[in-house]
Chains A and B, each alone.
Chain A
Amino acid sequence: MNRELVLRIRDLYISFRTAAGTVNSIRGVNLDLYRGETIAIVGESGSGKSVTMKATMGILSSNGKVNDGTIEFYAQDAGKPVTYKVLEMSKKAIRRHISGKRIAMVFQDPMTSLNPTMSIGTQLMEGMRHHDHLSRAEAWKKAVELLRMVEIPEPEKRMRSYPHQLSGGMRQRVDIAIALSCDPDILICDEPTTALDVTIQAKILELIQSIQKQRNLSVIYITHDLGVVSKIADYVSVMYAGKIVEQGTVNEIFYDPRHPYTWGLLSSIPDVTSDQKLFTIPGSPPNMLHPIRGDAFAPRNVYAVGMDYLEEPPMFKISNTHYAATWLLDKRAPKVAMPAALRARIDKMLGETVQDGE
């Protein structure tokens, strides 16, 4: 398999200075992204998903500091391979070479991501004119094409519209068009459908997928919605309290999860067909102001072992692509199986897939 590495994040540590103290937001994150593939980063609000990606693009807020780690982005510049060490680059250099041009981001809330005083056309064209030095006429043509590609009707007219004249779904499509305008290698989608209707959600997801296929884009999808993950991801990284606690292919995560947090997440997906109670993970995520000893998930972990409170679990290898950071995978730990309800659900799903396959 011809897998080309595009992005590599290693041992990323990020903290934020706040009025209340220092918040250790990211506590050691590793990530590998290959060309043409989609990684979904899953986690609760505040787990650090967006922060990691903002650091990759150099748009971390001013009170944030990267304390350790590397982010390397591998691209081609006129046929020759080039490595960008993002954390060592100046802000100016990042803006020139990476943001918008190589890595582009689509934000969560389409209602606020567009500048209300500038027309759609201007906002669409400015990236192209800046990075690719297109003339106004060329940029205009390409912009119209982009609008057509994201299925916005009457694209020429829309160029002169203002954001408030478009609905949420339309605005999100414009955001996607803007992100793709300079033909980036990586597209980061930060919960792009959370603020939209369910029906529009599906359309947007399809759109992103088809564009990805067309252009062989690598996509990082940040979401807390496992339903979305199952549809679009090749690989899944589950984040909790600033660390990745489990990662693997989408099948491995959905059919063979190993971390109790992942069990919790999967169990929380409402199941309309069963009549069981809605499951929730008890407690709330830790306050990152205080240093964390041991496994951050331990206080909420029904399957916690003593070690979870003493030392942080390392990533245990389950297969070449599947890793989980839980002491349950240690040889010395008791054999614990996933909750029965979850097992039943997974078996049912497997049964259905087998049936569909026949």
Chain B
Amino acid sequence: MTDEIKIEPGHEFELVGARANMHIDKNYASQSFWKDVLARFARNKGAIFGIIMITVIIAFAIIGPSMNDYDYDNVNLPHQNLAPRIRGLELLSVFNGTENGVNRYRDLGLDDTYYWFGTDTLGRDQWTRTWEGTRISLFIAMIAVLIDMLIGVGYGLTSGYFGGAVDGAMQRVVEILNGIPTLIIVTLLMLVMEPGLRSIIIALMLTGWIGMSRVARAQVLKLKEQEYVLAARTLGMGNFGLIFQEILPNIFGQLITMSMFSIPSAIFSEAFLSFVGLGVQTPMASLGSLINDGYKSFLNHPYMLVFPAAVLALLMLSFNLLADGLRDAFDPKMQEM
């Protein structure tokens, strides 16, 4: 309010005139687009929780396996089926090494041995295996996003930008591909190829990009007719330039959101396949295969299942929250006024 008018007493009724400039700047503070997005995102408690959780899980995935001395494939039969035990947290009944009242650590004279998440039927340390498995799930997630971006966005952009017959043909293909449930395609593929990490990735590559291409195409169609694109074109910009310099930056937000959504879907696909037996093979572990192994002894030793399942659930939840938060941050629907 620095532009206050100085009115001297006694002169109140002299014509002063308009200060039209005063209000124009005071009215609505402008903010850059990205600042707005960031502000909205920060306000979303769910999204913040998601990001924190993801960071924590990634951190553990990186340093977890090296935090204790066990390897993920150390078969140690005498140590099989041991309950989780963490030094210092023994007051929590989950982590004191007992199961159904029986403390097998004591029975076996292993007073100095601690398996933080317990061991599986072959005596392998679950802590290390869980975090190794998380690494694989995250790795798959990243590949999935990359593929989505490259193939999906490329396909959608091309189809939408060129329109006409090109668009028509490309969309027919997508429609047919869409008519086949993804997991069926993946399952069939897995039959043909040997199960394992490589085949999972190839399978996801063939199916995961469709959703992204749809979004990219829809956005391109929307923006194609905008005036700044026309302006750039009249200035002589070629097709390639138009796509990458004018259109792409404006749909960036949507693309990021969609890719964040495709991560939990990819993680789930891998977990599902592993659970069904088509995923990574032993001794390698992924969250899904750990759940599959744990499931077999589930009723007797629930902890074998609980930890990988919890990590999986948290991972998917966090990415979904993050993606939700991003979507709301980029495209808020103002419900109040």
Contact = CB atoms under 8 A, between A and B. Distances in A.
Interface of A: 16-19, 23, 61-63, 282-284, 286-287, 290, 298-310, 327, 330, 332-334, 336
B35 interface: no
27 contacts: A16-B337, A17-B336, A63-B336, A63-B337, A282-B18, A283-B18, A283-B21, A283-B22, A287-B26, A290-B26, A298-B18, A299-B19, A299-B20, A300-B18, A302-B17, A303-B15, A305-B12, A305-B15, A306-B11, A308-B16, A309-B7, A310-B7, A310-B12, A327-B13, A332-B12, A333-B13, A334-B13
A334 B18 contact: no
B15 A336 contact: yes
A309 B16 contact: yes
Nearest to B22: A299
B184 interface: no
B27 interface: yes
Dominant secondary structure at the A interface:
loop
Interface of B: 5, 7-8, 11-24, 26-28, 336-337
B27 A287 contact: yes
B20 A282 contact: yes
Given A283-B18, A286-B23, A302-B17, A307 B336 contact: no
A58 to B, nearest CB: 18
B12 A306 contact: yes
* Chain B interface SS verdict (over half): loop
A283 B24 contact: yes
Contacts of A287: 23, 26-28
Nearest to B8: A306
A290 B27 CA distance: 9
Contacts of A61: 336-337
Contacts of B5: 306, 309
Nearest to B43: A19
B76 to A, nearest CB: 58
Given A287-B28, A299-B19, 7 more contacts: A282-B18, A282-B20, A283-B23, A306-B8, A327-B13, A332-B12, A332-B13
A352 to B, nearest CB: 32
Contact of A307 (B12, B21, B27): B12
Q: Which of A16, A17, A301 has most chain B Cβ within 10 Å?
A: A301
Contact of A304 (B18, B23, B26, B28): B18
Given A287-B26, A306-B7, A18 B337 contact: yes
Contacts of A298: 18-19
Nearest to B332: A19
Given A61-B337, A287-B26, A306 B17 contact: no
